[in-house]
């Protein structure tokens, strides 16, 4: 097994259990404890873990992003629920935008029964997901590939987005705060999402319930620009009242 593959498996375990033990990992992967310690040192250097005596714990800082492949396998049930709700808002012949989030991949999958859609995205994974669909117009924004994220970012991605006018945009974020708006952890992602917002008539924020009351480094926008929020379960009453005041429709499984 390659070291990178082993570290990704350790990351998956960290995501599930929030902590790992060196001795147990050593036996699981059939390598020395020293090798596991080096793996944990690398994960700590990358910002994913915090070493502790005999093991490590997950770094749950919202400004640290897990690799795309790890994030895609997290909260799968919630993302499927969100995708099903999002698909109901899309009509045949719609022109939509999808960001480079893991939730966008589930939405793309849920849309496959639709006809003649136009999809603009900066997500390599979404492009691959839709590569076998006939009768659609699937458009890449272009831009610079972000290592480990399967996302196209930067100036060319922003310009690519703003070349189009979409009926609907589905985008995610790292955190929502009633007073600060909705946010992302990295400026490059926030900038492309802001370009998408400027290029869409209806804007839907797609977030699982864990994102509520969370902060992140870069502000994407204020809630007043949103047409709706799609989430996996009923938000707290404070949020529901806030959405009503803002004129934002809130979609969740009933």
Strands 228-230 and 249-251: parallel
**Listed residues 11, 38, 60: the one ending a domain:** 60
Residues 131 and 227 in one domain: yes
Backbone conformation region of residue 101, classed left if phi is above 0, alpha if psi is from -120 to 50, else beta? beta
Assess whether pLDDT exceeds 60 at residue 68: no
Q: Predicted confidence band at 66 (pLDDT cuts at 50, 70, 90)?
A: low
Q: Give the pLDDT confidence score for residue 236 in this predicted structure.
A: 96
Q: Give the pLDDT confidence score for residue 147 in this predicted structure.
A: 76
| 12 three-state secondary structure | helix
Residues 147 and 217 in one domain: yes
135: domain CATH number? 3.40.50.10470
pLDDT tens digits for range 1-50 = 788 788 888 988 887 888 999 999 999 999 999 999 999 998 888 888 89
Sign of the alpha-carbon torsion through 175, 158, 73, 14: negative
Instruction: Specify if 163 maps to a domain.
Output: yes
pLDDT tens digits for range 197-219 = 999 999 999 999 999 999 899 99
* Interaxial angle between packed helices 22-29 and 33-45, expressed in degrees from 0 to 180 and rounded to the nearest 10: 110
Instruction: Specify if 238 maps to a domain.
Output: yes
pLDDT tens digits for range 214-244 = 989 999 999 999 999 999 999 999 999 999 9
Q: Give the pLDDT confidence score for residue 39 in this predicted structure.
A: 92
Residues 9 and 120 in one domain: no
Query: What are 111's two structure tokens?
Result: 């849309």
Q: Predicted confidence band at 71 (pLDDT cuts at 50, 70, 90)?
A: low
Residues 45 and 99 in one domain: no
Q: Give the pLDDT confidence score for residue 69 in this predicted structure.
A: 60
Instruction: Specify if 65 maps to a domain.
Output: no
Residues 86 and 145 in one domain: yes
Residues 41 and 88 in one domain: no
Residues 41 and 113 in one domain: no
Which helix (H) or strand (E) element contains residue 111?
A: none
Q: Give the pLDDT confidence score for residue 73 in this predicted structure.
A: 59
Q: Give the pLDDT confidence score for residue 47 in this predicted structure.
A: 82
In the numeric block, the tokens 């809630």 are attached to 223
Q: Which of 204, 247, 226, 251 is nearest to 97 (CA)?
A: 204
SS3 content of the chain, % helix, strand, coil (to 5): 40, 25, 35
Residues 107 and 189 in one domain: yes
Of 66-75, 173-182, 241-250, give the lowest mean pLDDT range.
Answer: 66-75
User: In the predicted model, what is the mean pLDDT of the chain?
Assistant: 92
Q: How many CB atoms lie within 10 A of CB 145?
A: 14
Q: What percent of the chain has pLDDT over 90?
A: 78
Residues 75 and 35 in one domain: no
Q: Give the pLDDT confidence score for residue 45 in this predicted structure.
A: 86
Q: How many CB atoms lie within 10 A of CB 239?
A: 19
Distance CA 65, CA 29 (A): 25
Query: What are 50's two structure tokens?
Result: 């915090």
Q: Predicted confidence band at 152 (pLDDT cuts at 50, 70, 90)?
A: very high
Q: Predicted confidence band at 94 (pLDDT cuts at 50, 70, 90)?
A: very high
Distances (CA, A) of 26 to 6, 22, 55, 118: 11, 6, 11, 49
Indicate the pTM of the whole model. Answer: 0.80
**Domain limits for position 34:** 3-60
Report the pLDDT averaged over residues 142-166: 94
Residues 90 and 167 in one domain: yes
Report the pLDDT averaged over residues 144-163: 93
Q: Look at the chain and report how many structural domains it folds into.
A: 2
Q: Which of 21, 48, 47, 58 is nearest to 36 (CA)?
A: 21
Residues 95 and 129 in one domain: yes
Q: Predicted confidence band at 64 (pLDDT cuts at 50, 70, 90)?
A: low
């Amino acid at each position: 097994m390659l070291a990178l593959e082993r570290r990704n498996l350790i990351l998956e375990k960290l995501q599930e259990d929030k902590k790992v033990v060196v001795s147990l990992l050593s036996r699981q992967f059939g390598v020395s404890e020293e090798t596991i310690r080096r793996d944990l040192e690398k994960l700590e250097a990358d910002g994913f873990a915090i070493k502790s005596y005999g093991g490590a714990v997950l770094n749950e800082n919202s400004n640290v992003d897990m690799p795309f492949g790890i994030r895609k396998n997290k909260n799968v049930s919630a993302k499927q629920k969100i995708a099903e709700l999002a698909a109901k808002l899309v009509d045949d012949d719609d022109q939509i935008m999808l960001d480079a989030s893991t939730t966008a991949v589930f939405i793309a999958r849920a849309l496959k029964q639709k006809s003649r859609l136009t999809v603009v995205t900066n997500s390599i994974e979404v492009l691959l997901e839709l590569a076998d669909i006939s009768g659609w117009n699937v458009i890449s924004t272009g831009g610079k590939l972000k290592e480990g994220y399967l996302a196209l970012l930067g100036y060319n991605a922003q310009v690519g987005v703003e070349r189009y006018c979409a009926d609907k945009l589905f985008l995610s974020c790292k955190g929502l705060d009633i007073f600060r708006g909705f946010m992302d952890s990295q400026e490059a992602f926030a900038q492309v999402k802001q370009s998408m917002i400027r290029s869409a008539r209806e804007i839907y924020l797609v977030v699982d319930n864990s994102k509520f009351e969370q902060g992140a480094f870069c502000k994407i926008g204020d809630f007043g620009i949103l047409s709706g929020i799609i989430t996996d379960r009923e938000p707290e009453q404070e949020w529901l009242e806030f959405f009503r005041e803002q004129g934002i429709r809130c979609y969740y499984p009933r």
